[in-house]
Amino acid sequence: MSGWAPKRFWKQAEVVAAENGFTVSLDGRGLKTPAKTAFWVPTAALAEEVAKEWQAQESKIKPETMPYTRTANSALDKVYPQFSAVADMLAGYGGSDLLCYRAVAPQELVARQHTAWTPLLEWTKAEFGAELSVVQGVMPVAQPENCLRALSQAVHSLSPFQLAAFHDLVAISGSLVIGLAIARGHILPDVGFDLSRIDENWQIEFWGHDEEAAESEALKREGLRHAARFLALCG
């Protein structure tokens, strides 16, 4: 970013109209991404969140407290130059979606997965015409090509900014279906996160919480929430 430094050097972060949408200026100087691209986002609401992050910085800049800036930078520097590759990579999750691989035993876990995951697969069939195959165990199952094509089209229909946030929805949950369900407002981010943690929560019930693992889980949950908020603000 322009002027990126360990210490704050500006007094005021402001939203400014830009050619493609909106940008943020620091005392009149426009932001740039780490790759020196002129910074911009598609909506004023999203630019406001970025400006708030910069305005909230104190004497020392803390990038870890600036998720909106970070995701927007990813969209501009990473997604725009290789949109098709990123979209293809995320669509590829559909070929081995978490929700399609069910436990063989114990029966209570089998039932829990069925109750939690089957309704989302039914939604996927209704929403995209994609009826994904389900298998018990971990042996790969080939999904119908027409289903994968339909899901891929849904991913490719996203804008680069939406795709940057969608990346985190899919990567954190481990499921293209969960990512799409959150992105389309079918389920809330917390619901999606819990659905992605059926197996882990089952283990926790037997072995208890590990403090380090619990902290990591909390960070992932917040990451999923942020990605959903960012995507919603893209307009």
Per residue in 119-158, pLDDT tens?
999 999 999 999 999 999 989 999 999 999 999 999 999 9
For residue 92, CA distances in Å to 89, 101, 105, 123, 140 come to 5, 15, 27, 19, 14
Q: CA–CA distance from 49 to each of 72, 147, 224 (Å)? A: 11, 37, 17
DSSP lists the bridge partners of residue 16 as 23
**In sequence order, what are the residues at sequence separation of 6 or more whose Cβ sits closer than 8 angstroms to the Cβ of residue 2?**
26, 29, 30, 31, 32, 39
Measured between alpha carbons, how far is 138 from 161 in angstroms, rounded to an integer? 34
Query: Across all residues in the chain, what is the average pLDDT?
Result: 94
Residues in Cβ contact with 162 at an 8 Å cutoff, skipping those fewer than 6 apart: 183, 231, 234
Amino acid at 1: M
Report yes or no: 155 and 87 within 8 Å, Cβ to Cβ: yes
Condensed to tens digits (0 to 9), the pLDDT of residues 193-214 reads: 999 999 999 988 888 778 888 8
